[in-house]
Every structure is written in C-alpha cells, then in structure tokens.
Amino acid sequence: MTAITLRKGAPGAQILGLGAYRPRRRVTNDELSTMMDTNDEWIQTRVGIAERRWASEDETLVEMAVAAGGKALAASGLAPEDVDLVIVASASLTAPIPGIGPQVAHRLGIPRPGAFDLNAGCAGFCYSLGLASDAIRSGDARNVLVVGVERLTDVTDLADRTTAVIFADGAGAAVVGASEEPGIGPAVWGSDGDQYNAIEIAAGRSTMTMAGQAVYRWATTKLTETLFEALDRAGVTAADIDVFAPHQANLRIVESMAKKLGLTEDTVIARDIVQSGNTSAASIPLALTALQESGEAKSGDLVLVLGYGAGLTFAGQVLRLP
C-alpha cells in the first residue's frame, strides 16, 4: 500500500493583518432606558457596557464582513489572489443556505477559494484561527482570511432586557499566512455540552435566550484552566503576555479572569465591551483592532485570547500581533 506523503518542513502561521467594521449607529444605555425597564447604572454595574453598535438595514452580514475583510487584506499587504481559503465565523445567520463565506470571497475579488461558514458561538473566531493555522501548516492553504461577523440584533428580543442590553453588531477580520516562527499557538478548545442550551434559539423561536447567571458561573469558574493550558502549550507564562483579549461578553468576567491569571500591571487588558457590547464571534478581532489603532497594543505584542459561548464552546490561544 502506498503511503500518503505529508508536507515536510511545514511552516508556522501568523496573523499578517487585522481589520474591523463597526456599524454607524451608537446606542447608549440612556437610549435603551427609553425602550425598556433599565438604566445606565443597572447595565454598567452588571455587565460594564456603556454603549453598543446596532447595524442598519444596509449593514448586512455580508457588507460588514466584506468591509472588515478588505481592511485586513489591505493591512496584510496581500492581494486577493494570494488568499485561497476564507472562513466566516457567525452565530447570527438567519438564512443558512447559501453560506456567506463564498459571497464574502467573491465580493473581495478572491478567485475560487475554499470558503465556508463556522458556528461555534462566541468562540467562532478562535476556532477559525485554529483551523486557519492548521490549514497553512499542513499545506492545504497559503493564506487564509478569517472573519467574525454578527448581527445579533436580528436574533435579540428587544423586550428582554437580560439580552437586549448586552448583544450588538459588528465585524472583525484577520489574514493568516505562513511564517518561519509560529505566531499562533495551539488552540486549546472544547465544549461543555451538558449546558448546551444555556444560550439558544429554541426550535420555533426567532430570538435568543440566555441563562445569564449559569453562563457567568461557568465562565468565571471553569475557563481559567483553559487559559493556563493555552499558555503552557505555547511555551510561555502569564508574565510574558503583553495583551489579554478574551471574548468581550461581560466586563466583570474579563476582570475576574485577569485577576486569576495574575497578570502584571503592564499587561494591556481589552475592555472593548464598554463601547461595543457583546459582538460574539466578532468581539476579539474588534478588540484587537481597537487596541492597535489606539496605540495601546503594538506590532509583535504577545496576546492571550479566549473565546467562549453557545454550546457551551470555548477556545484559548496565544497570538503575536502583526
């Protein structure tokens, strides 16, 4: 029997460029208080959000993904024809067929790439980065465009303040390419399916429900070990981390994780949720782009990320900023 030959000397993978798109409309807590029984103090005390972005009718998933993906491509210095795989992570597609991956690739002028959608809830971007890195290292792809995009307002009940004050819209993207030195650490991923319906759109419903306290307890008690494992598998320690950018689900969760990690005072901690709300699969690339644009994070910084959400799925990685 002839053996399958695997690629020898496979490269590592790194992020070459980041991009983001934030919807035009800002919605403050005070504006929400005119729509439902809530107020700024109640929201900021519980989840740390001051405002969020809601997409208008013309800011579709495809439009936002194309905008973020185009910026990431420009930042990477690559041409569209250099990309041969497109992964779009989203949990808010209201029309499952066709997927938007091929549409995004076509709009960006990427000729005949592999293209697909991935739904791992709020962990979708990290799952996609892991797949992109593996595809490059195995030789299945040269360069990969990863996009996290959400219109969570399409699946949020605005009469339910437990979810309506949290979820928002936006898109973030990364171009991943080969490198001599690995710039994306191993993905430490998994799921706790015994709580699969803690966040769900139940059959026959069009809007999402969330067992907020259950998700909060899970995130603050079960996921720190994933962060330490991601550090260990990347061969670094918490003291080596320049930026901590977990999924922007709840500012209290972010702060709890940072404390348990024992990060140094010099570590930059992403708090993009304050202005952006919870944008699910888009939250990590949105946060990283914001930190770079503000100058708080710089090229070469070592970043610890963690995505977690519906499923309950989770994935942690160590990255180096482009």
H-helix segments, the chain? 29-33, 40-46, 61-76, 101-107, 124-138, 161-164, 212-222, 224-234, 251-261, 273-276, 283-294
* Alpha carbon distance 247, 253 (integer Å): 9
3-state secondary structure of 253: helix
What does the angle CA 307 – CA 312 – CA 315 come to, to the nearest 5 degrees? 30
Catalytic residue IDs: 122, 247, 278
H-helix segments, 108-211? 124-138, 161-164
Locate 140 and state its tokens. 């299945």
Contact 172, 289 (CB under 8 A): yes
* Alpha carbon distance 273, 245 (integer Å): 11
* Alpha carbon distance 154, 95 (integer Å): 11
